[in-house]
């Protein structure tokens, strides 16, 4: 139990989620599909990070799915600030070795 009031606590009292926006079954289905897509993308992005980066943000590799499943729509919509790094080539090409 948290001492903080969350949107989940307020929404049932306000009647916000009982309106037209959730009565349309196609809208609900589309919303679920979008959330699922965002969830999979977030999991893939986090799994692509190395262990040191995950540790820096306070995650273990085994906790990624659990943490992402707890995200709300706003958190799932977050985009990474940096572009993925290009893969590092393990060996030098012959032209570079001669120089």
Domain boundaries, the chain: 7-77
pLDDT digits (tens, 9 = 90+) for 2-56: 566 666 666 555 445 555 555 788 888 898 999 999 999 999 989 998 899 999 9
Burial code (b: 16+ CB inside 10 Å, e: under 16) for 69-78 equals eeeeeeebee
| pLDDT value of position 21 | 53
pLDDT digits (tens, 9 = 90+) for 42-98: 999 899 988 999 999 899 999 999 999 998 888 888 876 656 566 666 555 555 555
pTM for the structure as a whole = 0.57
- Cβ 53 vs Cβ 43: under 8 Å: no
């Amino acid at each position: 139990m948290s001492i903080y009031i969350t949107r989940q606590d307020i929404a049932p009292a306000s009647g916000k989620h009982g309106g037209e926006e959730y009565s349309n079954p196609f809208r609900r289905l589309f919303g679920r599909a979008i959330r699922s897509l965002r969830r999979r993308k977030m999991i893939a992005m986090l799994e692509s990070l190395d262990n040191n980066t995950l540790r820096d943000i306070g995650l273990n590799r085994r906790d990624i799915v659990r943490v992402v499943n707890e995200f709300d729509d706003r958190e799932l919509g977050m985009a990474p600030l940096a572009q993925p790094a290009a893969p590092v080539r393990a060996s030098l090409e012959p032209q570079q070795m001669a120089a």
